[in-house]
Amino acid sequence: MKIIKFLSEISLVMFLMIVSNQVLAGEANIVCDACSITEMKTKAKQELANSLPPEEYEGEYNLKVNVIDFYNNRENTFAVSVYVDYGPVRPSDFKAKLITSSSRFKENMQRLKKARKQVKTEVEAGGIPSSVVSSAWRIPGRSYVVNNIEDYIKSNVQVAIATTKIQSYASAMGLIKTPLPNTFRIKLDAGGYIEVKIEAAAGLTFGVKLEKIVDSDNNTLPFNKSDMKNQFYRVSPNAGYINDINDLMRNWGLSNKNLFKGSVEIHDLVCDDKGCECPDCPDEAN
């Protein structure tokens, strides 16, 4: 009976070792944007380390890790291994060798890249017409203008289809919880541009979030009053949006003073029943 029990325990350990190796003897896809080869290799080793079972059994663990660098538009695959004995596993125990990526991974990446390119082309083509937003300075402080922009982008069916494909491909590659590059720059017909973040939602729908607004004079526009205070903005002599700046400042209770031709500085405007004044502005500006 003791012999049978001893053999059963050995069999259990061997079974667990086999299962552990089977779990790790596959492929993992991870993202390492703007990484060097050395950084990619380090991250691949970390992926194997994170994949080890809580109770490591003696033996060799292997994992093929595909490291994706969306920023530089490249991918590398590493065969990562570590031999575990009864001592602690050290970082130096992990080995990573650069190998050829599998054809399946290459095909999946081509599909993902094609879908991302389609989204970029569709979103950025044509820009935002003046009928949707007449001036970059009419976006801050006006939620209806922001909604108009988002609705205009969402009305593009091709973007919805491509975004759904991205979600599907990313999910199949185990990247669904990994933030993929999804910020796009769109020109404004009225001058300047915006940057939006696009994320897939349920069905053929997607979310749009405005991330940045830049006018035709290359000023980054504020999203709220605190972002506008004590800022310098360059304004061209023939800029057609000066009234929009003044409207926004009045709505936010701010004032400006001319520092030199083509530039304004924004300050708080203090108002009471006697009128309004700008404490931080020079006397001639009040």
Encode pLDDT of 152-183 as tens digits.
Answer: 998 988 888 888 888 888 888 888 666 666 88
pLDDT of residue 260: 39
Both 181 and 268 in one domain: the answer is: no
Specify whether 112 is located in the same domain as 216. yes
Specify the pLDDT at position 179.
61
| 113 and 65 assigned to the same domain | no
Boundary (domain end) residue, out of 220, 243, 273: 220
pLDDT attached to residue 163: 85
Q: Which two tokens stand for residue 257?
A: 């003073």
What pLDDT, in 10s, does the model give residues 5-40? 433 433 433 333 344 343 355 889 999 989 999 999
Give the residue from 51, 71, 101 where a domain finishes. 101
251 versus 16: which is more confidently predicted?
251
pLDDT of 262 above 60: no
Task: Give mean pLDDT, residues 235-257.
Answer: 81
* Interval 129-146: pLDDT, tens: 999 999 999 999 999 999
Q: Which of 113, 128, 121, 112 is nearest to 184 (CA)?
A: 121
- What the block records as the tokens of 185 is 């720059």
Please indicate, yes or no, whether residues 184 and 205 belong to a single structural domain of this protein.
yes
Please state the rounded mean pLDDT for residues 216-240.
Answer: 86
pLDDT at position 115 over 60: yes
Residue 187 has pLDDT above 90, yes or no: yes
Query: What is the CA angle 257-263-269, rounded to 5?
Result: 25
Residues 124, 185 within the same domain: yes
pLDDT at 77 > cutoff 90: yes
Helix, strand, coil percentages (3-state) for the chain, rounded to 5, are: 40, 30, 35
Number of independent structural domains in the chain: 3
- Percent of all residues in the chain with a pLDDT value above 70, rounded to a whole number: 76
In a shared domain, residues 181 and 206: yes
Residue closest to 143 by CA, chosen among 231, 240, 251: 251
**Residues 57 and 10 reside in one and the same domain:** yes
Q: In the chain, which residue ranges form alpha helices assigned H by DSSP?
A: 2-24, 37-51, 103-124, 143-154, 157-172, 225-228, 242-252
Domain that holds residue 160: 102-220
* Res 257 pLDDT > 80: no
Statement to judge: residues 22 and 84 lie in one domain: yes
Q: Does residue 164 sit in the same domain as residue 185?
A: yes
Name the domain boundary from 162, 197, 220: 220
Highest mean pLDDT among 8-12, 41-45, 168-172, 240-244: 41-45
Contact call for residues 196 and 130 (beta carbons, < 8 A): no
Distance CA 54, CA 86 (A): 13
Same-domain check for residues 75 and 160: no
Q: How far apart are CA 124 and CA 121, in angstroms?
A: 5
Q: Do 199 and 117 lie in a common domain?
A: yes
- Kindly report the average pLDDT of the chain as a whole number: 80
Residues 265 and 193 reside in one and the same domain: no
